Chains A and B, each alone.
Chain A
Amino acid sequence: MTRLHIDWTLCDGRGLCTELLEEMLAEDDWGFPLARDGSAEPAVPAPLENAAAHAVSRCPMLALRLVGRTS
């Protein structure tokens, strides 16, 4: 299962990911991405894999990664 990893030390809350991947991510009170499923490293459903890869490539802070691990 592919998961979306957010490096919080890099994330600046620019908000591109929450626009490109709104099915998975909402904005929190301060504009930082918040996984809609409540998990720290949300699973990427197969239909959203392209959108997730797009969000990863567009993050201006390079704060997003797709990872393969299960936890």
Chain B
Amino acid sequence: MISATEAPSRLLSGDGTLDHHLARHGRLPLLDGSQIIGMARDASLTGRGGAGFPMWRKLGAVAASGRPPVVIANGAEGEPLSGKDRVLLTRQPHLVLDGLQLVARAVGARAAHLYAPAKLLPGLRKVLADRRGAGLDPLPVTPTVAPDAFVAGEESAAASAVAGRGAVPSDKRVRVVETGTLVQNVETLAHLALIARHGPGWFLSAGTFLATVSGAVARPSVVEAEYGVPLGELIAAAGGPTFELQAVLVGGYHGGWVPADLSLPVSQSALAPFGASPGAGVVLALPAHACGLAETAKIAGYLADQVSGQCGPCVNGLPRMAWTLADLAARRPRPGLPGEVARLAALVTGRGACRHPDGTARLIVSAMRTFEADVAAHLAGRCLATGGRR
């Protein structure tokens, strides 16, 4: 089970109570909508759900949509390797809900929702009741259950779920923001609540992100760090590696494998050459004795099972891609197998209502590149990582 690190931090320490919140952070300052959007812009605050889109541009688009705006705090966290939103909603739920009130004010929202897994909702209902009692929520917040499914946290799936339809992605001909709906990850909202108190300049110099570090580490944890932190520091904060490491998966199941270079900065620009990004802050350490292709095939199989069943290329392509990779991982080579993996990855990319096919393809392509030597070995019936021979 993933726990929060013991190191002192801004977003992770706290007991979730209103008393603690008010003693530590105080009430929100009074800000008008344009001030809030300006602060998000000046702080360069980007979304922490994975896509990394600038918050202020979403706020502006929703405000300009001409539709009655709805704001949603997205705590669905369908990514199995991520635990940071759950920890945040347990330790500092009031920062998240302060942030939700701020974006509500920024876009002139008529309704606000908290979208979170069922097991967190009883605690969050108590949090919401405390806030109502203290007059902290001028716009009442409705809790909604986020199903336990990988795509349930996707922007349009979250919007659909709070509207009472299924938590499945929808077509993007009309973008979600154009429908007047703002979906923001809970961590992004917590950062906004701190920016409102301390200012954009403070955030630019001291802003952080949450990472969930697991795999071959002594203490799988949620840790808080600044962007650009060396990969090795995140791993050290999770107790350090338990084995020699072969590679690290950054960004989660839709992320990319990078070499186990512990000096590699965790930032957009440093990870881009590997086809990876910090995403929602997921870091998985792969030990030297584990086969990266087999690990990726397992993940690809899971992702193929998590298809929502709406889009033909994804419904058909993800299982085919997963089986093909599984054949390679299990050393059942056939002529042209690596080429077939690459072809299928290109075939599914961009051909779905959401980015589930794209993200799955990206993960697999990065595995083929990072574990290139093992691809060649597997084709010859061997595995370099496990020493296996067939």
Q: Which residues of A contact B (CB under 8 A)?
A: 5-13, 28-32, 34, 38-40, 65, 67
Please determine whether A39 and B350 come into contact, CB atoms closer than 8 angstroms.
yes
Q: Does B313 contact A (CB under 8 A)?
A: yes
What is the distance, in angstroms, from B301's C-beta to the closest C-beta of chain A? 19
Q: Does B351 contact A (CB under 8 A)?
A: yes
Please determine whether A8 and B173 come into contact, CB atoms closer than 8 angstroms.
no
CB closest chain-B residue, reference A8: B311
Query: Contacts of A34 on B, CB cut-off 8 Å?
Result: 347, 351
What is the distance, in angstroms, from B234's C-beta to the closest C-beta of chain A? 34
Query: Contacts of A38 on B, CB cut-off 8 Å?
Result: 346
Contact pick for B312, options A5, A11, A67, CB 8 Å? A11
Query: Contacts of A29 on B, CB cut-off 8 Å?
Result: 316-317, 320, 347
Q: Does B231 contact A (CB under 8 A)?
A: no
B168-189 interface with A by 8 A CB criterion: 169-171, 173
Report the bound CA distance from A60 to B314 in whole Å. 21
What number of B residues sit within 8 Å (CB to CB) of A?
A: 19
Instruction: List 28 A–B pairs whose Cβ atoms lie within 8 Å, in order of A's numbering.
Output: A5-B173, A6-B351, A7-B173, A7-B353, A8-B171, A8-B311, A8-B313, A9-B169, A9-B170, A9-B171, A9-B310, A10-B171, A11-B311, A12-B312, A28-B347, A29-B317, A29-B320, A29-B347, A30-B316, A31-B312, A32-B316, A32-B351, A34-B347, A34-B351, A39-B350, A40-B350, A65-B173, A67-B173
Please determine whether B347 and A8 come into contact, CB atoms closer than 8 angstroms.
no
Q: Does B352 contact A (CB under 8 A)?
A: yes
Please determine whether B347 and A9 come into contact, CB atoms closer than 8 angstroms.
no
Q: Mark contacts of B327-351 with chain A using CB atoms, 8 A cut-off: 1 yes-contact digit, 0 otherwise.
A: 0000000000000000000110111
Report the bound CA distance from A12 to B169 in whole Å. 17
B217-235 interface with A by 8 A CB criterion: none
Report the bound CA distance from A34 to B310 in whole Å. 17
Please determine whether B351 and A8 come into contact, CB atoms closer than 8 angstroms.
yes
Contacts A30-B316, A39-B350, A40-B351; A9 near B173 (Cβ below 8 A)? no
Please determine whether B171 and A28 come into contact, CB atoms closer than 8 angstroms.
no
Contacts A65-B173, A67-B173; A8 near B353 (Cβ below 8 A)? yes
Query: Contacts of A10 on B, CB cut-off 8 Å?
Result: 171
Query: Contacts of B316 on A, CB cut-off 8 Å?
Result: 29-30, 32
B274-318 interface with A by 8 A CB criterion: 310-314, 316-317
Query: Contacts of B169 on A, CB cut-off 8 Å?
Result: 9
Query: Contacts of A31 on B, CB cut-off 8 Å?
Result: 312
* Chain A binding surface SS class: loop
Which of B170, B312, B349 has the most CB atoms of chain A within a 10 A radius of its CB? B312
Contact pick for A8, options B312, B320, B349, CB 8 Å? B312
CB closest chain-B residue, reference A9: B310
Query: Contacts of B311 on A, CB cut-off 8 Å?
Result: 8-9, 11
Report the bound CA distance from A2 to B178 in whole Å. 20
Report the bound CA distance from A35 to B170 in whole Å. 21
Additional pairs, 17, CB under 8 Å, beyond known A28-B347, A29-B317: A7-B171, A8-B310, A8-B351, A8-B352, A8-B353, A11-B312, A12-B312, A13-B312, A28-B313, A29-B347, A31-B312, A32-B316, A34-B351, A38-B346, A40-B349, A40-B351, A67-B173
What is the distance, in angstroms, from A70's C-beta to the closest C-beta of chain B? 14
Query: Which 4 pairs across A and B sit closest by C-beta, in order of nearness?
Result: A40-B350, A8-B311, A9-B310, A7-B171
Which of A5, A10, A30, A39 has the most CB atoms of chain B within a 10 A radius of its CB? A30
Query: Contacts of B317 on A, CB cut-off 8 Å?
Result: 29-30
Report the bound CA distance from A5 to B174 in whole Å. 11
Query: Contacts of B310 on A, CB cut-off 8 Å?
Result: 8-9
Contact pick for B313, options A5, A30, A67, CB 8 Å? A30
Which of B349, B351, B353 has the most CB atoms of chain A within a 10 A radius of its CB? B351
Query: Contacts of A11 on B, CB cut-off 8 Å?
Result: 311-312
CB closest chain-B residue, reference A65: B173
Report the bound CA distance from A17 to B351 in whole Å. 16
What is the distance, in angstroms, from A12's C-beta to the closest C-beta of chain B? 7
Query: Contacts of A30 on B, CB cut-off 8 Å?
Result: 312-313, 316-317
Report the bound CA distance from A10 to B353 in whole Å. 10
Query: Contacts of B346 on A, CB cut-off 8 Å?
Result: 38
